[in-house]
């Protein structure tokens, strides 16, 4: 096999300045208050309803997400016209208030908001940069479940980052695709777009037939629960019943060859391939169930109710993304990249970082899955891959010593090589320290304990120490937290 660049998403800050945006200290304080207790305490409650924070206080992306509520469900009804790239949407957002709210924010970039209601009553709204501020007619009480409906339309934005990388709503040669890491989902629906607020989704998309009267396909996360032919348009309804972080929400509109199957564990498999990639991607439909079965035996039960892949034809994009249940590929992936994105279904999608600085838990573990796959499929063994990263002979090892994997210096660098390659080296050092049996027990316990939730580095280390009975402070200090390239400890 020929391992190659794991051409996975490399996070970049948005050129709009949204991601490095200034956030008032008071907003951060409010976010901290709500995340600690879920409700106002002491003097605050005497002060009555107050605005939800404009960000959740992510250290690297302080303006992402919003405080004061937790979203339980997004119901998105979208009309999309590929010919002129126009989107019309209704978002029904069901959330629970975590404080008395006089108003609250939703993240939304571009598009024109037409109406907003909260609990059926007309709400006031205003826009500022990528924040939609909603003021309900009556304050929402702490603990109340409330429904917000926003109608909107326009030409959805593509976010072009400093180095030319694209996210958000991206037109393809036969439709469009929506990619949300880290902030692109706000270009096609309003929401709480930080990974710490996961929710279930129903996404219904209607697209007119093309000029020949042929229907477009619409492929999304989760399961296809309904499809209708309306004469001159088609409607597809995709449902995600397990919690999903906003950055993993996805739809692709275009022409696809669809292959449906089952894994050995009877899990539905849905593979959509752009006809321009069908020859190169011929093995994807067989590899997906094989890799999912392999990974389930190592990492624990597959966490979602279906799996699959979307192979589009958008080679200029130059990355793949682990969109939930069906990773998205800009062109036919090789085996290694498929392993990486499918491993993210456990590491990142089911167990999601609480803050973006813990990205190494996604990328280090998904990269280590590549190493394990190679070792078990006739390639180098993991000791050798580790050596090749250490001495720089592996092509993926370039730049891995730039900073400590657990401490990306800025939002712009949160997806740089240390988070991937050196992150995988941390995992290998852990495996050597605790032995194979305990190592795989740690991984399976991790995916079980935090299934469909959020977790952080501190919790990972605590679990490693608890399951192994060893003090691993030095190992993690040297490999995870220290910037210096560790000396050899053979
Ligand atoms: Zn990745």
Q: pLDDT of 58-85, one tens digit each?
A: 999 999 999 999 999 999 999 999 999 9
What pLDDT, on the 0 to 100 scale, is given for residue 163? 63
Spacing, Cα 83 to ligand 1 middle (Å): 32
| Position 312 confidence tier, pLDDT thresholds 50, 70, 90 | very high
Spacing, Cα 7 to ligand 1 middle (Å): 8
Spacing, Cα 320 to ligand 1 middle (Å): 8
Spacing, Cα 329 to ligand 1 middle (Å): 12
What pLDDT, on the 0 to 100 scale, is given for residue 233? 98
Spatial contact of 356 and 411, defined as CB atoms under 8 Å apart:
yes
Spacing, Cα 37 to ligand 1 middle (Å): 32
Question: Which residues contact residue 25 at a Cβ distance below 8 angstroms, ignoring those fewer than 6 apart?
Answer: none
What pLDDT, on the 0 to 100 scale, is given for residue 34? 33
Spacing, Cα 179 to ligand 1 middle (Å): 14
Other C-beta atoms within 10 Å of 67: how many? 28
Spatial contact of 67 and 30, defined as CB atoms under 8 Å apart:
yes
Per residue in 105-141, pLDDT (tens digit) is 999 999 999 999 999 999 999 999 999 999 999 999 9
Spacing, Cα 482 to ligand 1 middle (Å): 22
Asked whether the predicted pLDDT for residue 441 surpasses 80, the reply is yes
Spacing, Cα 225 to ligand 1 middle (Å): 28
- pLDDT over 70 percentage in the chain: 90
What pLDDT, on the 0 to 100 scale, is given for residue 39? 36
Spacing, Cα 108 to ligand 1 middle (Å): 25
| Position 31 confidence tier, pLDDT thresholds 50, 70, 90 | very low
| Position 488 confidence tier, pLDDT thresholds 50, 70, 90 | confident
- Listed residue (99, 105, 171) closest to 139, CA to CA: 99
What pLDDT, on the 0 to 100 scale, is given for residue 484? 95
Of 163-167, 248-252, 451-455, the range with the lowest mean pLDDT is: 163-167
What pLDDT, on the 0 to 100 scale, is given for residue 489? 57
Spacing, Cα 297 to ligand 1 middle (Å): 20
What pLDDT, on the 0 to 100 scale, is given for residue 412? 84
- Listed residue (359, 309, 316, 314) closest to 334, CA to CA: 309
Spacing, Cα 423 to ligand 1 middle (Å): 11
Spacing, Cα 366 to ligand 1 middle (Å): 6
Spacing, Cα 353 to ligand 1 middle (Å): 13
Other C-beta atoms within 10 Å of 225: how many? 12
Spacing, Cα 128 to ligand 1 middle (Å): 32
Spacing, Cα 221 to ligand 1 middle (Å): 17
SS (H, E, C) 299-344: HCCCCCCCEEEEECCCCCCCCEECCCCCCEECCCCCHHHHHHHHHC
Spacing, Cα 425 to ligand 1 middle (Å): 15
Higher pLDDT, 165 or 45: 165
Per residue in 471-481, pLDDT (tens digit) is 999 999 999 99
What pLDDT, on the 0 to 100 scale, is given for residue 470? 98
Average pLDDT, integer, range 235-255: 98
Per residue in 336-346, pLDDT (tens digit) is 999 999 999 99
Spacing, Cα 80 to ligand 1 middle (Å): 29
| Position 40 confidence tier, pLDDT thresholds 50, 70, 90 | very low
What pLDDT, on the 0 to 100 scale, is given for residue 374? 98
Q: Which residues of 259-269 are buried (b: 16+ CB within 10 A; e: fewer)?
A: beeebeeebeb
Of 29-43, 136-150, 318-332, the range with the lowest mean pLDDT is: 29-43
Q: What is the mean pLDDT of the chain?
A: 91
Spacing, Cα 348 to ligand 1 middle (Å): 8
Euclidean distance between CA atoms 309 and 268, whole angstroms:
12
Euclidean distance between CA atoms 102 and 50, whole angstroms:
5
Spacing, Cα 362 to ligand 1 middle (Å): 6
Spatial contact of 199 and 243, defined as CB atoms under 8 Å apart:
yes
Spacing, Cα 3 to ligand 1 middle (Å): 15
Spacing, Cα 46 to ligand 1 middle (Å): 46
Asked whether the predicted pLDDT for residue 277 surpasses 70, the reply is yes
What pLDDT, on the 0 to 100 scale, is given for residue 414? 87
CA distances from 198 to 116, 240, 245 (A): 22, 11, 4
CA distances from 480 to 237, 264, 369, 485, 487 (A): 43, 37, 18, 10, 14
- 3-class SS at 287? helix
Average pLDDT, integer, range 398-416: 93
Spacing, Cα 343 to ligand 1 middle (Å): 9
Spacing, Cα 419 to ligand 1 middle (Å): 10
Q: Which residues of 139-161 are buried (b: 16+ CB within 10 A; e: fewer)?
A: bbebeeebebbbebbeebbbbbb
What pLDDT, on the 0 to 100 scale, is given for residue 113? 98
Per residue in 360-400, pLDDT (tens digit) is 999 999 999 999 999 999 999 999 999 999 999 999 999 99
Return the DSSP state at 221.
S
What does DSSP say about strands 112-118 and 145-154: parallel, antiparallel, or unpaired?
antiparallel
Spatial contact of 400 and 422, defined as CB atoms under 8 Å apart:
yes
Asked whether the predicted pLDDT for residue 42 surpasses 50, the reply is no
Asked whether the predicted pLDDT for residue 7 surpasses 70, the reply is no
Question: Which residues contact residue 71 at a Cβ distance below 8 angstroms, ignoring those fewer than 6 apart?
Answer: 93, 94, 95, 191, 192, 197, 199
What pLDDT, on the 0 to 100 scale, is given for residue 16? 33
Euclidean distance between CA atoms 464 and 139, whole angstroms:
45
Per residue in 194-218, pLDDT (tens digit) is 999 999 999 999 999 999 999 999 9
């Amino acid at each position: 096999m020929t391992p190659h660049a794991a051409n996975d998403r490399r996070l970049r800050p948005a050129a709009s300045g949204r991601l490095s945006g200034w956030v008032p200290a008071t907003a951060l304080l409010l976010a901290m208050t709500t995340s600690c207790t879920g409700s106002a305490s002491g003097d605050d409650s005497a002060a009555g309803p107050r605005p939800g924070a404009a960000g959740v206080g992510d250290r690297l992306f302080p303006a992402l997400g919003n405080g004061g509520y937790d979203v339980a469900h997004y119901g998105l009804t979208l009309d999309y016209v590929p010919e002129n790239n126009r989107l019309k949407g209704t978002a029904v957002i069901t959330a629970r208030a975590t404080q008395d709210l006089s108003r609250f924010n939703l993240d939304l970039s571009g598009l024109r908001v037409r109406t907003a209601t909260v609990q059926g009553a007309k709400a006031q709204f205003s826009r500022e940069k990528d924040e939609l501020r909603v003021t309900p007619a009556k304050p929402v009480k702490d603990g109340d479940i409330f429904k917000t409906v926003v109608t909107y339309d326009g030409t959805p934005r593509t976010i072009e980052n400093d180095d030319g990388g694209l996210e958000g709503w991206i037109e393809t040669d036969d439709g469009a695709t929506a990619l949300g890491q880290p902030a692109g989902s706000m270009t096609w629906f309003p929401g709480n777009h930080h990974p710490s607020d996961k929710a279930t989704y129903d996404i219904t998309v209607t697209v007119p037939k093309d000029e020949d009267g042929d229907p477009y396909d619409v492929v999304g996360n989760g399961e296809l629960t309904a499809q209708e032919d309306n004469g001159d348009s088609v409607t597809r309804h995709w449902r995600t019943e397990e919690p999903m972080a906003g950055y993993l929400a996805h739809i692709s509109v275009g022409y696809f060859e669809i292959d449906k199957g089952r894994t050995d564990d009877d899990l539905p498999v849905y593979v959509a391939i752009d006809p321009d990639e069908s020859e190169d991607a011929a093995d994807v439909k067989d590899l997906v169930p094989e890799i999912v079965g392999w990974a389930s035996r190592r990492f624990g039960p597959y966490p979602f109710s279906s799996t699959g892949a979307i192979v589009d034809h958008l080679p200029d994009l130059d990355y793949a993304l682990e969109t939930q249940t069906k990773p998205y590929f800009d062109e036919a992936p090789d085996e290694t990249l498929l392993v990486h994105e499918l491993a993210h279904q456990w590491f990142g999608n089911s167990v999601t970082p609480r803050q973006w600085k813990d990205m190494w838990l996604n990328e280090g573990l998904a990269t280590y899955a590549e190493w394990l796959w190679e070792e078990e499929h006739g390639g180098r063994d993991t000791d050798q891959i580790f050596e090749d990263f250490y001495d720089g002979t592996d092509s993926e090892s370039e730049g891995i010593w730039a900073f400590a994997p657990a401490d990306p210096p800025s939002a712009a660098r949160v997806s740089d090589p240390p988070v991937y390659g050196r992150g995988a080296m941390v995992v290998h050092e852990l495996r050597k320290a605790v032995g194979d049996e305990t190592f795989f027990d740690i991984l399976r316990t991790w995916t079980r304990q935090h299934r469909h939730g959020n977790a952080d580095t501190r919790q990972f280390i605590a679990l490693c120490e608890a399951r192994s009975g060893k003090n691993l402070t030095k190992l993690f200090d040297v490999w995870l937290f220290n910037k210096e390239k560790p000396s050899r400890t053979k």
